[in-house]
Amino acid sequence: MVVGSGGREHALAWKIKKDNPTAELFAIPGNGGISEIAKCIPLFAEKPEQIVDIAIQNNIGFTVVGPEVYLTAGITDEFTKKNLKIFGPSKKGAMLESSKLFAKEFMKRNKIPTADFEVVDNYNDGVGVLEKRAFPCVVKYDGLAAGKGVLVADNFNEAVDFLQKIYSDKIFGDTNNKVIIEDCLQGQEMSYLIFTDTMCFIPMAPAKDYKRIFDNNKGPNTGGMGCYSPPFFFSDKLESRIQQEIVFPTLSGLAKENIDYRGALYFGLMLTRQGPYLLEYNVRFGDPETQVILPRLESNLLDIMEATAEQSLKKCSAEWSNKKSLAVILASSGYPGEYKTGKEITNIEKTKTSDVVIFHSGTKKEDGKILTAGGRVLAVAATGDNFEEIRQKVYRAVDIINFEGKYYRKDIGLESFI
Ligand SMILES: Nc1ncnc2c1ncn2[C@@H]1O[C@H](COP(=O)(O)OP(=O)(O)O)[C@@H](O)[C@H]1O
Ligand SMILES: [Mg+2]
């Protein structure tokens, strides 16, 4: 059973089905694309107890969780209590993502390179800290904020406005009032993910995602507008530094602090002149990273995830294809601001060649039609020998698919060969 409803979950379901064609697959709640390969159960709450009941009723042998909200709500702890197998960290482990302050303090304790930071819990102290700061600097809300909790502030006024939104307008609610103010790092950003059962780890193929809405990385941040793997600047030497300076200290920190972590762990990295720095942890697969990583995985994903959950990852290995991989997100125009949904999507089936795959994000199936149902609608993904060729395949399919308000970036992966 796959829990979640995005492109990441479609990619997980697609890979599981590809490796295990006879497996009976379920999804909660799933989406228009997932419903073609799995039985979707329309439960739109993040209550772990209800999902436990569904797992028992349907005799589910294994569950993989996509979004962080379920992990933060303690789904893994509830499943484990009932002896149900699940892939994803405990509630404590999920704090690496659900509290940025917990994560930063964890990094500091375990000597993991990260931007220097200060913490405040009210507006006046925040302004006081900002008055002494150089700009740009980064202001981060402590709790989960669906990608809207971080501002890279170019100047004092912008930063103060954001504090006002947090403390006066209470845009993130008023149960958590902690804010981190940290140095702004310069460099290339990339995503490095691992499977880990706390004792050991298997690296995934590295990826680079595009967070801004417009070409040339302009405009506001989004959940991700495209992705490719591997990043053009990636090397064995860089990977070994990432592992030595960031991955190993993280795993020994988890062990030392008795944090049970069995799942995917995502390192959001900034490659600075001083070496790799950790911006954040995510406690799950990335979206859209998963849509480019899994097409490169030659091993059986379910075997690796089961070994992770059973803490026998040591006995496991992963084979990665030498092929490169790229995905472009089709979004509803207006996203990440306001946008319309319910638009019919046509011509998806016309793109089905052997190496283009369409992963659904915000879609739903109604009366046999596929409709838009979110900001990010589809990911068009392909693999190949070089990014020039892959881009041609992907953008040809992007042109074929139609829906009112279709928006996408035209520069995904371009930097890798220009
Ligand atoms: N210290 C920093 N220096 C420069 N850029 C940063 C820094 N921290 C965050 N960012 C930028 O802000 C984005 C969002 O921050 P992140 O910590 O990943 O939070 P979230 O993904 O929860 O919104 C990052 O992808 C990065 O582009
Ligand atoms: Mg992030």
- Beta bridge pairs of residue 406: 332
Task: Report which of 94, 78, 87, 208 is spatially closest to residue 144, judged by C-alpha positions.
Answer: 94
What is the best residue among 117, 280, 287 to mutate for testing ligand 1's pocket, by most ligand atoms within 8 Å of CB? 280
Query: If pLDDT is split at 50, 70 and 90, which confidence band does 354 have?
Result: low
Measured torsion, CA atoms of residues 235, 249, 8, 95, in degrees rounded to the nearest 10: -160
Mean pLDDT calculated for residue range 330-354: 93
Q: Which residue's CA lies nearest to atom 2 of ligand 1?
A: 184
Which-ligand-closest: CA of 279?
Answer: 1
Which-ligand-closest: CA of 68?
Answer: 1
Tell me the CA–centroid distance for residue 104 and ligand 1, in Å.
13
Pairing of strands 39-40, 369-372: unpaired
Task: Report which of 72, 67, 75, 117 is spatially closest to residue 98, judged by C-alpha positions.
Answer: 72
Residue 114 CA: nearest ligand 1 atom is 1
Q: Which residue's CA lies nearest to atom 20 of ligand 1?
A: 147
Task: Report which of 72, 67, 68, 17 is spatially closest to residue 39, judged by C-alpha positions.
Answer: 17
CB 187 near ligand 1, within 6 Å? no
CB 283 near ligand 1, within 6 Å? no
Residue 277 CA: nearest ligand 1 atom is 1
* Alpha-carbon distance values, 25 to 10, 32, 38, 52 (Å): 12, 15, 5, 16
Query: If pLDDT is split at 50, 70 and 90, which confidence band does 28 have?
Result: very high
CATH domain 188-315 topology? D-amino Acid Aminotransferase; Chain A, domain 1 (3.30.470)
Which-ligand-closest: CA of 211?
Answer: 1
Q: Which residue's CA lies nearest to atom 16 of ligand 1?
A: 280
Query: If pLDDT is split at 50, 70 and 90, which confidence band does 355 have?
Result: confident
pLDDT digits (tens, 9 = 90+) for 225-278: 999 999 999 999 999 999 999 999 999 999 999 999 999 999 999 999 999 999
pLDDT digits (tens, 9 = 90+) for 175-216: 899 999 999 999 999 999 999 999 999 999 999 999 999 999
- Beta bridge pairs of residue 120: 179
pLDDT digits (tens, 9 = 90+) for 110-138: 999 999 999 999 999 999 999 999 999 99
Return d(Cα 58, Cα 89) in angstroms, integer: 23
Query: If pLDDT is split at 50, 70 and 90, which confidence band does 288 have?
Result: very high
Q: Are 345 and 403 in contact (CB under 8 A)?
A: yes
In this predicted structure, what is the pLDDT of residue 51? 97
Task: Identify the CATH assignment for 324-416 out of 3.90.1720.10, 3.40.50.10890, 3.40.50.720, 3.90.600.10.
Answer: 3.90.600.10
CB 68 near ligand 1, within 6 Å? no
Return d(Cα 386, Cα 391) in angstroms, integer: 9
| Residue whose pair of structure tokens reads 């052997």 in the numeric block | 354
In this predicted structure, what is the pLDDT of residue 200? 96
What is the best residue among 106, 117, 150, 270 to mutate for testing ligand 1's pocket, by most ligand atoms within 8 Å of CB? 150
In this predicted structure, what is the pLDDT of residue 46? 80
**Burial environment of residue 341 by CB neighbours within 10 A (0 to 12, 13 to 18, 19 or more):** middle
Average confidence score pLDDT of the chain:
96
Amino acid symbol at 211: K
Q: Please state the domain extents for the chain.
A: 2-90, 122-177, 188-315, 324-416
Tell me the CA–centroid distance for residue 279 and ligand 2, in Å.
8
Q: Are 375 and 5 in contact (CB under 8 A)?
A: no
CATH domain 122-177 topology? Dna Ligase; domain 1 (3.30.1490)
CB 182 near ligand 1, within 6 Å? yes
CB 278 near ligand 1, within 6 Å? no
- Evaluate if residue 356 carries a pLDDT over 80: yes
In this predicted structure, what is the pLDDT of residue 44? 84
- Evaluate if residue 146 carries a pLDDT over 90: no
In this predicted structure, what is the pLDDT of residue 147? 81
CB 280 near ligand 1, within 6 Å? yes
H helix intervals, 323-386: none
CB 96 near ligand 1, within 6 Å? no
In this predicted structure, what is the pLDDT of residue 109? 97
- Evaluate if residue 353 carries a pLDDT over 80: no
CB 115 near ligand 1, within 6 Å? yes
Rounded percentage of the chain residues whose pLDDT exceeds 70: 100
* Alpha-carbon distance values, 208 to 37, 193, 272 (Å): 28, 11, 15
Return d(Cα 245, Cα 233) in angstroms, integer: 18
Q: Are 191 and 209 in contact (CB under 8 A)?
A: yes
Q: Which residue's CA lies nearest to atom 1 of ligand 1?
A: 184
- Evaluate if residue 295 carries a pLDDT over 70: yes
CB 356 near ligand 1, within 6 Å? no
Task: Give 341's contacts (C-beta < 8 A, 6+ positions apart).
Answer: 332, 362, 371, 372, 373, 374
Q: Which residue's CA lies nearest to atom 11 of ligand 1?
A: 152
Tokens of 15: 């890979």
pLDDT digits (tens, 9 = 90+) for 59-109: 999 999 999 999 999 999 999 999 999 999 999 999 999 999 999 999 999
CB 219 near ligand 1, within 6 Å? no
Q: Which residue's CA lies nearest to atom 9 of ligand 1?
A: 279
pLDDT digits (tens, 9 = 90+) for 386-398: 999 999 999 999 9
Task: Report which of 188, 230, 233 is spatially closest to residue 390, judged by C-alpha positions.
Answer: 230
Residue 97 CA: nearest ligand 1 atom is 22
Tell me the CA–centroid distance for residue 95 and ligand 2, in Å.
15
Q: Are 253 and 203 in contact (CB under 8 A)?
A: no
Which-ligand-closest: CA of 181?
Answer: 1
For the whole prediction, is pTM greater than 0.75?
yes
CB 411 near ligand 1, within 6 Å? no
Which-ligand-closest: CA of 140?
Answer: 1
* Range 2-90 classified under CATH 3.40.50.2300: no
